[in-house]
Structure 1
């Protein structure tokens, strides 16, 4: 049964709801749909499932872009109503005819909706009955008749085949080598080369019909050649194998006799008395890039000219120069999918070359197409530029954080409450969690915040020593318990120690783990559940493309499935590493934000502690569309 149907504007003004249904919805499915799909450019999806304790809904929607209206239908997920799409299309058509931007209520639409609903239900019932009739099982008599016909046809075919085999005159009885000579091709030329097959053809004289199955039938070959049919036998010459070229011999490496004088170990020496926690001089100076605003340079005129020229080529492929120019001057009545397809395809290819996951690029283009379909193209406006502008707005909305996460402000709030602010760093193997944790610690130090590190990577060899080295260089206390310990207990004790010694922030380093490793993911879920951190940061590489979708979605899914809490903690933010190695392939940032809904809070862009930046949304969008 249909639970609710609403019509509202893109500004959020509700114009009409079905009073006849009037069912009280559990939770807030409409608000969640707007926040999770419509505002985050996921409107290209066909439906949205909303689950709350005691109820589960499916929401479907459609737009009228010219009037700026949204039509949403809500029904129980278990029902699978077939007529909803048809009903939404009819409601959209009828309501758009009576819509007036000055009107606020449409009580007269109730009777129209009642008729449309009956019509849609009747049509769905007819389709259901027709499918049942087509799916009726065949009667036994019909089955027997079909089997007999199939059997007789099969036997007849075999007889015909065997008869043809007996009438062959050119077959050889012996086991001699068969030489296939000149054969006529379709173009009338002959191939004079002779191919020695060197294979033996066994022909059985007992008339067994299945004897030649799988063997080389010489009768058919010679029969086709004698008849001179249209289909000739193409003979491929055997080319003698060329001798492989000799590879040049590898030159012996010459090692320098002198010892390397460059200092490779940048950790400060430790005294021989066994005190590994000796405080040493600070090894880094300078201001972190987090506190510097990046200036985005404007495009040069030549780049703009190149972009305009590319847009012209895209449109001209579809409609020709004159038609495209006439539409740009006079304006087009309403845009449809056929108009948008060339520009969207070019835009999708461009996004994929920038390392955006294919699935994400396709969904973005579908969302942009839905938002533009039915709109009127203004005068002196090109379709390609309209599509690009819509995509740019969509990318800015996706990459802009939906909620404010100000770590410095939250740290001071936690300090007033006399408890440490806890940040947990998670991610797959080898992405740089420990190094970027040290960069975050250095940035917090510059703001006069007392930081403590917690070495909770008790799985990987050398992880504790690596974090200890960073702590020495930054003069930061570190809490460690060695290896093969429960990381959840180590983190809990580290937080208690931070409360005692007055540390403002605890940065928890965890072991790298693949998203499919269930034992390690279970341990991570336990760590987050036991310690309730203030922030869970996913550390990911900017080098990944399609794998970014798999990593983040499965990380969130595992954290939700393996947590004993009814409301599990998921990933709150993203730290993107190795950003200086990708040139303009910045698509991983978009893929990660789109799939998780979490903002990119930090960007690692170098080897020193100062190389940590904020994500510049305008710069990323410009690079993606360049």
Structure 2
């Protein structure tokens, strides 16, 4: 049974909802769909699953991009209603004919919806009667074909039956439609495309299609080109005789080694005499407080290059220059998916070259296609520029934080409540948690905030000494209990010590751990649950591509699975390290934000305390699309 059907604008104004259904939804599936799917550019997915206490819903939707309308249907997940997609398409067609931007209520649409629903139900019943058991019928036909025509004929019929959806009579399998989870009339069939679904935490699961490879083509290529390759190799071997590789002796430069000797002397006494003002004057101002300006000259040059490229290349392979030019002048009635595919393919390849994970680039392109399909192309506008603008808006929307990330304001708010502001740094091994923790401490010191470090990495050798060195150089207190201690207890005692001595912020350093390390992930979950920090920062490298998706998704999954409370704490923000080593390969920032929904709060760009800055969203988007 259909639970709810809503029609609202992209601005959030509800125009019509079905009063006939009148079912009170448990939880807030519509709000969660907008927040976790539509606003995060996941609208290309086939459906969305929402779990609430006592209920599990499936949501399906469609857009009318020209009018800016969204049509959403909600039903119980266990029902697998087959008529929902047809009903949404019919409602979209009928409502678009009576839609007026000046109207905010449509009570006259109730009777129209009632008729449309009856028509959709009747059509679904006819499909069930015409083919009650498509899989069994298909198998029966295949067995009969094997008995009559022998093994060869039976195999041909069997392969032909599998090629059809559900094994029906007329190409579409007599099935008509198939539900999004691969079920058709209560029977499991192999779906063509793996459908993606997301739960409340925003996690998505999908399985890519695997296509067959023709071995005969490979054999032909080998027979055609094998002789040429062999001849070329023979000529190369004759032209270049074998040379004996002689190992060169290493020359040690005595002068260089004597000039740059390592200093092993203990400067702890000298460092102890320094104060905070001297360290600040020595290091300079943190880059967090400097605004990065994106030059407009480079943007104009890129626009000129793009315009030149657009003149050279047509929009699609099958369209000539005159067709594309006429389309850009006169405008196109409605954009179709086939019109968008070439431009989206080019954008997907460009994003992947910038280190964006492949599955995320594909989902972004699907979402952009869903937002443009059916939209009218303006005059003097090319399809490639329209797709480029839509992708730019999508990337800005993803990377722009949807909540306040002003840590200084939150620190002062906690100070008014007379409790320290606690930040926990988590991440995999070797990403630079301790170093960037010291950078954050240095930035907070410049804003007259008292900081205390907590050495909760009791697993790695030298971790406490490393943090102690940073604390001594910055002249801030450090709480440590040595090694082989429970990090959750150490963090709890550090927070209590900070409350006694009046520290405003406690920066908790944790051990690096791989996302698949069960004992260490369990210890991290215990630390977060026991101390309830104000901010959980995931420290990740800007060098990773697809691995960023695996790291963040599994960290969030482990924190959720191992938590003992019904509302587990997940990753709140991201600190991206080694950002100065990647040139234009900035795709890891997009991958991490997209998979977790957490904003990038800090960017590490060097090895000194001042090398910490904010993420410039416009600069990142410009780099991704150039």
User: Could you say which TM-score interval applies, normalised by the shorter chain?
Assistant: 0.7 to 0.9
**CA separation of 1:602 and 1:247: change in aligned 2, threshold 3 A:** farther
**CA separation of 1:539 and 1:141: change in aligned 2, threshold 3 A:** closer
> What residue number does 1:38 align with?
38
> What residue number does 2:468 align with?
468
1:56 and 1:331 mapped to 2: Cα distance?
44
1:27 correspondence with 2:27 = yes
How many residues are aligned here?
Answer: 545
1:143 and 1:379 mapped to 2: Cα distance?
58
**CA separation of 1:299 and 1:394: change in aligned 2, threshold 3 A:** farther
Deviations 1:225-275 (A, max 9, x none): xxxxxxx9999899999698345212111112354443655995246xxxx
Structure possessing the higher radius of gyration over alpha carbons? 1
> What residue number does 2:290 align with?
292
> What residue number does 2:589 align with?
589
The farther-off stretch of 113-122 and 441-450 is 113-122
Aligned-residue offset at 1:145: 10
Q: Contact conserved, 1:314 with 1:346, CA < 8 A, in 2?
A: no
**CA separation of 1:476 and 1:92: change in aligned 2, threshold 3 A:** same
Q: What's the TM-score, normalizing by structure 2?
A: 0.82
> What residue number does 1:305 align with?
304
Q: Contact conserved, 1:7 with 1:17, CA < 8 A, in 2?
A: yes
Moved >6 Å (runs of 4+): 137-145, 151-154, 232-244
Aligned-residue offset at 1:40: 1.9
1:430 and 1:267 mapped to 2: Cα distance?
27
SS in 2 for 1:537: strand
1:39 and 1:139 mapped to 2: Cα distance?
44
Aligned-residue offset at 1:564: 0.3
**CA separation of 1:235 and 1:601: change in aligned 2, threshold 3 A:** closer
The farther-off stretch of 584-593 and 251-260 is 251-260
1:601 correspondence with 2:601 = yes
> What residue number does 1:78 align with?
78
1:67 correspondence with 2:76 = no
**CA separation of 1:260 and 1:431: change in aligned 2, threshold 3 A:** farther
Q: Contact conserved, 1:56 with 1:77, CA < 8 A, in 2?
A: yes
**CA separation of 1:249 and 1:51: change in aligned 2, threshold 3 A:** same
Aligned-residue offset at 1:308: 1.2
Deviations 1:292-347 (A, max 9, x none): 00111014444322111223315264422111111111111111112111111111
Q: What's the TM-score, normalizing by structure 1?
A: 0.82
The farther-off stretch of 427-436 and 6-15 is 6-15
SS in 1 for 2:469: helix
1:266 and 1:559 mapped to 2: Cα distance?
42
Structure that is richer in helix per residue: 2
The farther-off stretch of 250-259 and 326-335 is 250-259
Task: Please show how residues 525-540 of structure 1 align to structure 2 within 5 Å.
Answer: 525-540=525-540
Aligned-residue offset at 1:41: 1.5
2:332 and 2:556 mapped to 1: Cα distance?
45
SS in 1 for 2:296: coil
Deviations 1:152-179 (A, max 9, x none): 999xxxxxxxxxxxxxxxxxxxxxxxxx
Give the unaligned 5+ runs of structure 2.
155-222
Q: Contact conserved, 1:314 with 1:342, CA < 8 A, in 2?
A: no
Q: Contact conserved, 2:274 with 2:475, CA < 8 A, in 1?
A: yes
Aligned-residue offset at 1:132: 3.7
1:501 and 1:23 mapped to 2: Cα distance?
55
SS in 1 for 2:246: coil
1:381 and 1:153 mapped to 2: Cα distance?
54
1:250 correspondence with 2:231 = no
The farther-off stretch of 261-270 and 6-15 is 261-270
> What residue number does 1:420 align with?
420
Aligned-residue offset at 1:510: 0.5
> What residue number does 1:503 align with?
503
2:142 and 2:578 mapped to 1: Cα distance?
68
Aligned-residue offset at 1:617: 0.7
Q: Contact conserved, 2:368 with 2:391, CA < 8 A, in 1?
A: yes
1:261 and 1:249 mapped to 2: Cα distance?
31
The farther-off stretch of 610-619 and 278-287 is 278-287
Deviations 1:41-78 (A, max 9, x none): 21111111111212221111100011111100001122
1:519 correspondence with 2:519 = yes
1:144 and 1:44 mapped to 2: Cα distance?
42
Give the unaligned 5+ runs of structure 1.
155-231
1:267 and 1:487 mapped to 2: Cα distance?
32
